[in-house]
Structure formats: structure tokens, C-alpha cells
């Protein structure tokens, strides 16, 4: 049989080299013949010696290794195919001149060798009579028996290597001393340990095998091993099912449950004489069985075997080739040559285990898992790990952001609370500055009430009572009492603790109410307070108390700026209008103005141009305006002084049924009602122009 492509290439190179050497030899030989009687006779002798060497080199380099493989079973079985393939590949790779393989299968496990053997031996003797063989490799115990009896007849003097036979069986049987051997170790005990690990509660062990001698041998050896374990208190109640036909075997297996464990050794023949390849029995048996099936041939796992300490026939084939190469190279004599026996390793069928409900917790470390059911985790573990890591990082990032957002919210809430407290303190301070004018303003209606009360008393003492006159006096008293009540209500609204709330409102109406507080102060300071409110139809979202605080801060600052000016320049104008979708409020004074370097910092906290100021009024104004979505600016007035301009975005007016009146500004919206037991104010809204002139 032809060698591999690599072996043929080596052979071709060797032949070319030999041909070159041969040409040189022939030239030297011709020269030697022509000068045989001349002094060149010595050269002729050298040419003859070189020719002999060339012939030997040609023979060594040109001849490939010829290897006879004698499988004891059918070579098409998966385990045999796997082992022979590894054996051939390893030898062909290492052979300098290539290798030729001859495979003569005995298949003695399925056929009666006594009747067929004489004819088979004569065939092999005829086949190899004129064929040189370098080594004979027998696989399994059947090959050992055959080569032991017939190798001198068929391959006289050829080294014999026996492989694929259990170490224990080899010791029981013995081996010819002139044979090399490479056994493996079938670990029955280790497979029973796997059963105990996967089924710690199992109490019944069923051994399934065929009726061929090989089948019976391993069935009995398994039963003996289980019996020894039972004597030590670690075993099961064991029984053997030998040679059952397939239908009966499947029916029995279907009656089992997980309290039983099945060990399948092999089945080359059943009791009815039907022959099988052992792997053919595994698939239908595993499909029918309700109990796990164990064994020691790795190929069976592909057909439904649950697990065991299994043999690796690919590795065993390579190691067989390693020992054969040592013999072929002359590194070791064939007689008694060996290598340490190969052993199996733990392997389990995860798909079958999951189908039977078996856990992997008790498996030994390093146990190989095969036939894993497809899953995203198993097929894309690297991608899933990266994805999980990214999700974890994202989760941590989101958690950190939420934590930071929570801290920021708490900090902003605390800052808002402090700002509201500061704003209230600023309102208290502003109202404090107006205290003298407020007292004067309250005193007027109180004085009028006192005068009307005195007049009413005099009318009662005078005799007949004029009811119409008395009714008019009471109306005046009620009007003045309401006026005093409104003054007190406005002060109370400004001074009480207040949480900002944005509602739809008419800003001009809110400012009119705030101007009520400022008119007496303007009169006291002899400052003319002019108004030009031209945005009565405008609606904004705002807080009325904060809007009034803006007005108070700006107007009081404007009056402070005019305080040292002459009478003609003591003027403060409050004007409103709508422009570019904004409500515009301007407070203009004709005071001393603000220097350019001060204007850049005028809205900073604690910055002031007053001798006794604290620098918070304008800072609070900017904060309130920003909270309303607006902006504030300061520019010089053309006629001297300063102009503060505030722009707040407008909103559509809310339907009347959904309007939300604000405390303290009900009168400014025209929504009057009883307050403190008094009637609504009878005095209509006023135009404040010229109301602030000195009197």
C-alpha cells in the first residue's frame, strides 16, 4: 500500500541523490576499465567499492517500510478506525522512505475461526511469500492468538508488536517472549466510582453483554469487581443480562429507573446468534433506558452512553506507532519491547445526564464533558462574558450616577431651602425698611375709623337718629377697616414662610399689589413713583410672592440711589410690556448710577455699593428670575441713573375653570372674598401714576 505524500516526496529526493551518485560511479568505472593496466588501477578499485556503497544506499533509501496490521475485529468499527488512522499517520510522518500498510482483519469476534482459519492462513502465506515485511502489528487478543500460532509460517523472522489488549488480561494469558507489546488499562473500578458519584442513591447494578467470549469475559470481570465492592459495603445488588435480543433488552431497560445503573461492556453476538458491532447496540438501548448506561469506550458516548473512565484510541494508536518506530529504527529489540500501559480518563455525556436529571456535582476534577446541549452561554461564552462585564459596568455606572443624582438632589434641595430662607430674610429686611411708611399707611384708615366712630356716637347723643347718615358712617368704617386689613394681609403674605410654587398668573396684577406696599415709602422719601403697566393681558408661570419681592428689591434700590439727588431727579419708573414672547419689566431711576466695574459684579452675592448694604438683594433677584426661566440685565439710563430689565417667557392663559388663585393676590386678580370676617375691598384697582409724589 502506498505511503503518504510526504513519504513519497522523501523517496523521490533519495532516488535523485542515488542517481547522481550512480552517474559518478559509472564514470569512475569506465575510467578504471580503460586504464586497467595503467597506474590508474587503484582508481578502478575505488570505483568498484563506491558502486557497492551506492547500491546499498539506494536499497536503504528507496525501500519504504512495509507494515502489516492485523486487527482482531472488523477494522471498520469506530474505535478500530480511530486507532489505525492515528497509527498510520504517525508512522508515515516519521518514515524517511515512506511506508506501505497491509491490513488483514481477522474479525474473529463474530466469525467461527476454526472453520475459516486454514484457508485464511494459506491465503496470507501466498500473499506475503514474495513480499518483504518489516513489522507486524496485531490489535486485540484475537490478533495475539493468531500471530502467536502462525507468524513463523506467514512472516518468518519479522518483529511482532501486539497492542489493544487489556493489561490484566495480558497478565492472565501470557505473551511470547519474542513479541513486543503495548497494553492499555480498562478501569472498571473507576467507572463504578463514576456511577457512585452520579447516582449515590442507586442500589442495583445491571451488566449488559453479548455471548461472544470477549463479551462474556468483560461481563464477568465487571460482576467480580462489583462483588468485591459489595463485600466492603460500597457496592450494589448486581445482575447480568447476557445475550438478550434487542427487543427484549430495550423492554427491560425501559422498566428501570434512576435507582439502577447499567454497565454495557460489549455485544458482538446475542443468544440467537445475531452479530453486531457493539456501538450499534448503544443508541437504541440508551433511547429506551430510564437508567443511565455506563462503559469504557469513548466512541459510545456519541450514541448515548452516559459516561465512564473511557479509552482514547487515537492516543493509543500514536503510542503504538511510537513503539513500532523504535523497533523499525533499530533503537530497541523487538523481544519484550514495551511502553507503560495507557489508561482512560473520565468523560461524561452532559446531554444524556441532563435528560436523565443527573447532577455533575460529584464528578472528579478534570472530568471531560461532551455533547453539551447548545446554549448561548456554551457556544458564545467569551461574548457573553464580555457582554455581562459591560452590563455590570453599565449597572455600576448607572448606580453611581443615580447615587450622585440623589446627592445632587439633596444638595439642591438643601440649597433651595437655604435660598428660600435667605429670600424670606431679605423680604423681612425689605419690609423692615418700609415699616415707617407702613405704620403711616395703617394709621390713616385707623384714624378715619376713629373719626367715624366718634361722629356716630355724637349722632346717637344728639336725639333723633338720621338713619341714612348713620348708614353712610358705617359704610365708611367698613371701607377703612378693609383697607387696613388689606395692608396687614400684604405684609403678612410677604413675611410668612413660603415654598415657591409656579402658577399661571397676570404679572401686572401682582405688581399692582406690590406697589401698594411701596407707595407710602415713596411718599415718605419724597420720591415720585411712576407706573406704566401695559401688559395686563399677559400671563406667565410664576410665584406671586417672589415676583413682588423682585419689585420691592429693585424699587427700594432705585429709591436708595435717588435719595441724595435733587427733587427733580427723585423719580422711579416701573414699566411693563410684552416683547418677543417675553414679559418685560423695567425699573428706571435717575439716581447716581452704577460704575462700569461695579456693573459687572452687581448680581454677585455679598457685593454692594451701599455703605450699609449686605449685597444680597440683587443676587436674590437674579436667582428668582432664573428660576422663572428668565434673565435680568442692568444698563445706564439715558438721563442719568440705572435701568434694570427683567424678561420672563410668557404662557397661554389657562381656562377660567382651571385658574389657580394665589394666596395674598386674590384681590389683584379680581377674586375677592371674605377675609378675617370683613367684606371684600370696595376700592377698585388704581393707576399708580403720580400716587408716589411728595405730599
Q: If you compute the radius of gyration of the chain from its CA atoms, what whole number of angstroms results?
A: 57
CA gap 566, 562 in Å, rounded: 8
Q: Per-residue pLDDT averaged across 583-590, rounded?
A: 94
Give Cα separations from 545 to 506, 524, 624 (angstroms): 13, 24, 11
pLDDT at position 272: 93
CB atoms within 10 A of CB 469: 11
* pLDDT top residue among 409 and 112: 409
146-155: long-range contacts at Cβ-Cβ below 8 A with a sequence spacing of 24 or more?
A: 146/70, 146/72, 146/106, 146/108, 147/70, 147/179, 148/176, 148/179, 150/121, 150/124, 153/121, 153/125, 154/121, 154/124, 154/125, 154/128, 155/68, 155/128
Give Cα separations from 547 to 38, 192, 540, 556, 630 (angstroms): 138, 90, 11, 14, 12
Q: 498-695 maps to which CATH number?
A: 3.30.565.10
* pLDDT top residue among 609 and 11: 609
Question: For residue range 162-174, what is the model confidence (pLDDT) as tens digits?
Answer: 999 998 888 888 8
The answer to whether the beta carbons of residues 345 and 369 sit under 8 Å apart is no
pLDDT at position 73: 82
Residues across the chain: 695
CA gap 257, 195 in Å, rounded: 14
Same fold, 5-184 and 187-310+341-373: yes
CB atoms within 10 A of CB 592: 17
Closest listed residue to residue 295, CA positions, set 283, 305, 303: 305
Name the band, by pLDDT with cuts 50, 70 and 90, for residue 178.
very high
Adjacent-strand bridge partners of 585? 576, 646
Q: Per-residue pLDDT averaged across 550-567, rounded?
A: 87
pLDDT at position 516: 82
Q: Per-residue pLDDT averaged across 218-231, rounded?
A: 90
Name the band, by pLDDT with cuts 50, 70 and 90, for residue 14.
very low
CATH class of 187-310+341-373: alpha beta
Kindly tell me if the per-residue pLDDT of 6 is higher than 60: no
pLDDT at position 568: 86
Closest listed residue to residue 589, CA positions, set 632, 554, 624, 548: 554
Kindly tell me if the per-residue pLDDT of 501 is higher than 90: no
Question: For residue range 74-116, what is the model confidence (pLDDT) as tens digits?
Answer: 888 888 899 999 999 999 999 888 899 999 998 766 665 677 8
The answer to whether the beta carbons of residues 114 and 86 sit under 8 Å apart is no
Kindly tell me if the per-residue pLDDT of 20 is higher than 50: no
pLDDT at position 689: 41
The answer to whether the beta carbons of residues 357 and 258 sit under 8 Å apart is yes
Q: Per-residue pLDDT averaged across 267-288, rounded?
A: 92
Kindly tell me if the per-residue pLDDT of 295 is higher than 70: yes
Measured between alpha carbons, how far apart are the two ends of the chain, in Å? 134
Angle of helix 544-562 relative to helix 507-524, nearest 10 degrees, comes to: 30
CA gap 305, 284 in Å, rounded: 11
The answer to whether the beta carbons of residues 582 and 649 sit under 8 Å apart is yes
3-class SS of residue 329: coil
SS3 content of the chain, % helix, strand, coil (to 5): 50, 15, 30
Q: How far is CA 349 from the centre of its chain?
A: 28
CA gap 584, 691 in Å, rounded: 23
How many Cα neighbours within 13 Å face the side chain of 175?
28
Look at 21-35, 132-146, 632-646 and tell me which has the smallest mean pLDDT: 21-35
Residue tagged 389657562 (cell numbers): 654
How many Cα neighbours within 13 Å face the side chain of 41?
4
Kindly tell me if the per-residue pLDDT of 659 is higher than 90: no
3-class SS of residue 347: strand
Q: Per-residue pLDDT averaged across 258-275, rounded?
A: 92
Provide the pairing of β-strand 642-649 with 631-636. antiparallel
The answer to whether the beta carbons of residues 609 and 625 sit under 8 Å apart is no
Q: 5-184 maps to which CATH number?
A: 3.40.50
Query: Kind and range of the H or E element at 172?
Result: helix 167-173
Q: At 384, list the grid cell.
A: 457573553
CB atoms within 10 A of CB 51: 17
pLDDT at position 453: 80
DSSP string, 121-133: HHHHHHHHTT---
The answer to whether the beta carbons of residues 654 and 539 sit under 8 Å apart is yes
Q: How far is CA 316 from the centre of its chain?
A: 42
Provide the pairing of β-strand 571-579 with 582-589. antiparallel
Look at 142-151, 204-213, 590-599, 646-655 and tell me which has the smallest mean pLDDT: 646-655
Kindly tell me if the per-residue pLDDT of 538 is higher than 70: yes
Hey, where are the domains in the chain? Answer: 5-184, 187-310+341-373, 498-695
CA gap 332, 326 in Å, rounded: 6
Q: Name the range with the highest mean pLDDT among 575-579, 607-611, 670-674.
A: 575-579
Name the band, by pLDDT with cuts 50, 70 and 90, for residue 13.
very low
Predicted TM-score of the model (pTM)? 0.52
Amino acid at each position: 500500500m502506498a505511503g503518504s505524500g510526504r513519504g513519497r516526496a522523501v523517496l523521490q529526493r533519495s532516488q535523485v541523490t542515488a542517481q547522481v551518485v550512480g552517474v559518478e560511479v559509472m564514470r569512475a568505472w569506465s575510467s578504471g576499465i580503460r586504464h586497467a593496466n595503467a597506474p590508474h588501477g587503484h582508481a578502478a578499485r575505488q570505483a568498484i567499492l563506491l558502486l557497492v556503497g551506492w547500491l546499498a544506499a539506494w536499497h536503504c533509501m528507496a525501500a519504504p517500510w512495509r507494515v502489516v496490521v492485523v486487527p482482531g475485529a472488523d477494522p471498520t468499527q469506530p474505535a478500530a478506525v480511530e486507532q489505525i488512522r492515528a497509527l498510520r499517520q504517525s508512522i508515515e510522518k516519521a518514515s524517511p522512505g515512506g511506508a506501505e500498510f497491509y491490513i488483514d482483519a481477522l474479525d474473529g469476534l463474530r466469525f467461527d475461526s476454526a472453520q475459516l482459519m486454514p484457508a485464511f492462513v494459506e491465503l496470507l502465506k501466498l500473499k506475503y511469500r514474495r513480499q518483504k515485511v518489516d513489522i507486524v502489528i496485531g490489535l486485540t487478543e484475537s490478533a495475539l492468538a493468531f500471530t502467536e500460532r502462525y507468524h513463523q509460517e506467514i512472516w518468518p523472522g519479522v518483529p511482532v508488536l501486539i497492542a489493544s489488549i487489556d493489561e490484566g488480561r495480558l497478565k492472565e494469558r501470557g505473551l511470547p517472549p519474542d513479541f513486543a507489546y503495548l497494553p492499555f488499562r480498562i478501569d472498571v473500578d473507576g467507572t463504578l466510582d463514576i456511577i457512585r458519584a452520579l447516582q449515590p442513591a442507586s442500589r442495583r447494578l445491571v451488566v449488559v453483554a453479548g455471548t461472544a467470549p470477549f463479551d462474556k469475559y468483560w461481563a464477568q470481570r465487571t460482576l467480580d469487581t462489583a462483588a468485591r465492592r459489595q463485600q466492603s459495603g460500597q457496592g450494589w445488588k448486581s445482575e447480568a443480562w447476557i445475550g438478550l435480543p434487542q427487543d427484549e433488552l430495550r423492554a427491560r431497560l425501559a422498566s428501570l429507573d434512576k435507582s439502577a445503573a447499567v454497565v454495557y461492556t460489549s455485544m458482538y453476538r446475542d443468544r440467537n446468534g445475531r452479530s453486531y458491532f457493539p456501538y450499534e447496540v448503544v443508541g437504541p438501548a440508551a433511547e429506551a433506558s430510564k437508567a443511565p448506561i455506563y462503559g469504557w469506550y469513548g466512541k459510545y458516548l456519541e450514541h448515548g452512553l452516559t459516561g465512564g473512565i473511557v479509552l482514547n484510541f487515537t492516543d493509543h494508536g500514536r503510542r503504538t506507532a511510537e513503539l513500532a518506530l523504535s523497533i523499525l529504527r533499530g533503537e530497541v529489540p523487538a523481544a519484550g519491547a514495551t511502553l507503560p500501559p495507557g489508561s482512560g480518563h473520565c468523560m461524561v455525556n452532559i446531554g444524556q445526564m441532563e435528560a436523565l436529571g443527573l447532577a455533575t456535582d460529584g464528578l472528579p476534577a478534570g472530568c471531560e464533558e461532551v455533547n453539551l446541549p447548545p446554549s448561548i452561554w456554551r457556544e458564545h461564552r467569551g461574548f457573553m462574558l464580555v457582554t455581562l462585564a459591560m452590563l455590570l459596568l453599565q449597572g455600576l455606572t448607572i448606580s453611581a450616577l443615580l447615587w450622585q443624582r440623589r446627592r445632587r438632589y439633596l444638595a439642591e434641595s438643601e440649597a433651595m431651602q437655604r435660598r428660600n430662607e435667605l429670600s424670606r430674610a431679605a423680604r423681612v429686611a425689605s419690609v423692615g425698611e418700609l415699616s415707617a411708611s407702613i405704620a403711616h399707611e395703617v394709621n390713616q384708615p385707623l384714624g378715619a375709623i376713629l373719626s367715624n366712630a366718634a361722629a356716630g356716637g355724637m349722632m346717637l347723643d344728639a336725639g333723633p337718629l338720621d338713619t341714612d347718615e348713620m348708614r353712610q358712617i358705617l359704610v365708611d368704617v367698613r371701607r377703612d377697616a378693609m383697607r387696613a386689613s388689606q395692608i396687614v394681609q400684604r405684609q403678612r403674605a410677604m413675611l410668612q414662610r413660603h415654598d415657591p410654587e409656579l402658577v399661571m398668573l397676570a404679572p401686572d396684577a401682582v405688581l399692582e399689589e406690590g406697589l401698594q406696599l411701596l407707595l407710602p415709602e415713596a411718599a415718605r422719601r419724597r420720591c415720585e413713583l411712576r407706573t406704566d403697566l401695559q401688559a395686563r393681558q399677559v400671563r406667565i408661570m410664576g410665584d406671586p410672592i417672589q415676583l413682588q419681592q423682585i419689585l420691592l428689591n429693585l424699587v427700594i434700590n432705585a429709591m436708595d440711589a435717588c435719595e441724595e439727588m435733587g427733587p427733580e431727579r427723585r423719580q422711579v419708573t416701573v414699566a411693563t410690556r410684552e416683547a418677543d414672547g417675553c414679559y418685560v419689566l423695567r425699573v428706571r431711576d435717575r439716581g447716581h448710577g452704577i460704575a462700569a466695574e461695579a456693573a459687572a459684579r452687581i448680581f454677585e452675592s455679598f457685593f454692594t455699593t451701599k455703605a450699609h448694604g449686605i449685597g444680597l438683594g440683587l443676587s436674590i433677584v437674579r436667582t428668582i428670575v432664573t428660576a422663572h426661566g428668565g434673565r435680568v440685565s442692568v444698563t445706564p439710563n439715558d438721563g442719568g441713573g440705572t435701568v434694570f430689565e427683567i424678561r420672563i417667557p410668557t404662557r397661554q392663559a389657562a381656562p377660567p375653570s382651571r385658574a389657580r388663585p394665589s394666596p395674598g393676590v386674590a384681590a389683584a386678580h379680581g377674586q375677592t372674598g371674605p377675609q378675617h370676617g370683613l367684606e371684600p375691598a370696595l376700592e377698585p384697582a388704581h393707576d399708580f401714576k403720580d400716587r408716589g409724589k411728595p405730599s
